[in-house]
Amino acid sequence: MQTIQIDRLNKHFGKKQVLFDINLSFERNQMVALIGPSGSGKSTLLRHVNGLNIAAEGDIRINGLALLSKGRLSKNVRQQRAKIGFIFQQFNLVNRLSVIDNVLIGALGRLPKWRAYSRTFTEAEKRQALLCLERVGLVDLALQRASTLSGGQQQRVAIAKTLMQQADIILADEPIASLDPESAKIVMNTLQNIHQEDGKTVIVTLHQVDYARRYCPRTVALKQGVVQFDDATTLLSNAFLNQLYGSEAQLEEVTEASTSFANVVLSQ
Ligand X SMILES: Nc1ncnc2c1ncn2[C@@H]1O[C@H](COP(=O)(O)OP(=O)(O)OP(=O)(O)O)[C@@H](O)[C@H]1O
Cβ-based nearer residue to ligand X, 63 or 178:
178
Please state the separation of Cα 199 from the chain's center in Å.
15
- 175-182: list long-range contacts, CB under 8 Å, 24+ apart: 175/87, 175/88, 175/89, 175/204, 176/206, 176/208, 176/211, 177/89, 177/207, 178/89, 178/90, 178/151, 179/151, 179/152, 179/155, 180/152, 181/257, 181/260, 181/261, 181/263, 181/264, 182/152, 182/264
CA dist 241 and 248 (Å) reads: 11
Q: Report whether 215 contacts 242 (CB < 8 A).
A: no
Cβ-based nearer residue to ligand X, 54 or 265:
54
Cβ-based nearer residue to ligand X, 36 or 51:
36
CA dist 30 and 19 (Å) reads: 23
Cβ-based nearer residue to ligand X, 36 or 175:
36
CB neighbour class for 163 (10 Å; exposed up to 12, middle 13-18, buried from 19): buried
Residue 205 CB, nearest distance to ligand X (Å)? 6
Element (H, E) at 195: helix 181-198
Cβ-based nearer residue to ligand X, 38 or 267:
38
Cβ-based nearer residue to ligand X, 83 or 223:
223
Backbone angles phi, psi at 152, to 5 degrees: -65, -40
Cβ-based nearer residue to ligand X, 125 or 253:
253
Residue 266 CB, nearest distance to ligand X (Å)? 27
Residue 259 CB, nearest distance to ligand X (Å)? 20
CA dist 185 and 179 (Å) reads: 9
Residue 102 CB, nearest distance to ligand X (Å)? 24
Q: Report whether 60 contacts 6 (CB < 8 A).
A: yes
Residue 39 CB, nearest distance to ligand X (Å)? 4
Where do contacts with ligand X occur on this chain (CB under 6 A)?
13, 18, 36, 38-44
